[in-house]
Structure 1
Amino acid sequence: MVTLRGFRPDDLPALYDICLTTGASGADASALHSDPELVGHIYAAPYGALEPERVLLAEDALGVAGYIVGTLDSDGFAARQERDWWPALRQRYADASTGFTEADRERIAAIKRPGVTPAAIVANYPAHIHMNLRSRLRGQGVGTALLEAWVADARAANVRGIHLGANAANSGGIAFWQRSGFAPLQAVGGTVWMGMALAD
């Protein structure tokens, strides 16, 4: 049985671990990184730390095995990250010259200079999400349930739209998002930006 529930502070390690072990287009990225927290620093943990009310977890008998995280205000969240999240990490990773893999260094570069979502996308789809599930939860409707619950909260808050960035190589993930109501908006490098309009 899978239960959906809100975030607790002691769930932060699970966010980090799931983010890493699904971080290669849904597959385990552990072998790519010498620092297992780097992926989570970017895509999962800041939401638990800065906007925990927008984190929803899927838990089974073995523990937390999936999440959806996000924010209703992408620009505001980015400003909070600049103030409250990135500075300590930039100090921690100030010297990335030794002991890191190529994938580590790519993540460290993103911490030092975060990617920017195209402004037109944020204007029309101001909320954004990230979602990951361990393989044991896939194919059971858990992702759909997490997404529907998050979207319902966004609708209740009168958000006009939600966007996400999908890895262009993750065809399965892109297909899921399209089935779930997201439309491709723009491809930039290896990212396919997708959006779901919520305004009536």
Structure 2
Amino acid sequence: MTADSHPAPLSIRLARADDPGEIDQLYDICVRTAAWGRDASGLLAEHRLLGDIFVGPYLACAPDLAWVLATEEVQGTPSQPVGYFLAVADTVAFEDKWEHEWWPRLRAQSPRRPVQPGSPDVWLHSYVENPPRTPADITSRYPAHIHVDLLPEAQGNGHGRRLWTTAIKALRSRGVPGVHLGVAARNTNAQGF
């Protein structure tokens, strides 16, 4: 982008959950925002595993509630994701499906490898082996949950709120009474959202 140019317009569309290239791009966004909203590329040895935990299950289990914020396709230049907003209407059912369908396959594909003690990869492997369950006192009041990541160039211009509105409309149309979102204490940008 030159000093004279304007940022490419961004639009919201459903994720292409059956497109391996787009899945790779969304996994990359996950890594580039994993360090409390900043790039974790230099912190992780296993980039793919992060996406397998925090993006892949949503695309596989709830593709109709997976949106991408992307540049618009212009004159043959394909649309490029710069963020995503993933939701599930029923967290308990999602976690059950995750446990019975997603985790066994992932565990078989990613046998425990030696990792640097104290590295974030230790946490990733621990998460796969013993994934947390959302407490019932949360899911009883807020059965849906969301996962959102926006690259820095997509932050601060109301795009997150546009994605939020899109997701909430879809969840309300399904009769969902509440939504929860977990945010790391160190991710101050997301807390402001």
Residue correspondences, number: 176
Normalising by structure 2, report the TM-score.
Answer: 0.86
1:69 touches 1:130 (CA, 8 Å); kept in 2?
Answer: yes
Any gaps of 5 or more consecutive residues in structure 1? 177-200
Match of 1:35 among 33, 46, 56: 46
Secondary structure of 2:182's counterpart equals strand
Q: Deviations over 1:72-96 (max 9, x none)?
A: 0001011111122111211233322
1:47 aligns with 2:58: yes
Aligned partners of 1:136, 1:127: CA distance in 2, in Å? 28
Shift of 1:58: 0.6
User: 1:66, 1:137 within 8 Å by CA — same for their partners in 2?
Assistant: yes
Aligned counterparts, 1:78-97, within 5 A: 78-97=95-114
CA contact (8 A) 1:33 1:100 kept: no
Q: Secondary structure at the match of 1:145?
A: helix
Q: 1:136 aligns with which of 153, 163, 172?
A: 153
Q: Which residue of 1 aligns with 2:75?
A: none
Q: Kindly tell me: are residues 99 and 91 of structure 1, through their superposed partners in 2, closer, same or farther at Cα, counting changes over 3 Å?
A: farther
Q: Report deviation, 1:99.
A: 7.0
Query: Separation in 2 of the partners of 1:67 and 1:14?
Result: 10
CA distance in 2, matches of 1:100, 1:93: 18
Output the aligned Cα RMSD.
1.6
Match of residue 94, structure 2, among 67, 72, 77? 77
Whether 1:25 aligns to 2:58 is no
Task: Give yes or no for contact 1:72–1:127 (8 Å, CA) kept in 2.
Answer: yes
Distance 1:157 1:108 in 2: 34
Deviations 1:40-98 (A, max 9, x none): 11111111122111101011156111100010000101111112211121123332225
Moved over 6 A (4+): none
TM-score, reference length from structure 1: 0.83
- Once residues 115 and 86 of structure 2 are traced to their aligned partners in structure 1, the CA distance between those partners, rounded to angstroms, is 32
Q: Where does the alignment leave 5 or more consecutive residues of structure 2 unmatched?
A: 1-8, 73-78
Shift of 1:101: 7.2
Instruction: Specify which structure has the higher proportion of strand.
Output: 1
Which has more radius of gyration? 2
For the 8 Å contact 1:14–1:64, the answer to whether it is kept is yes
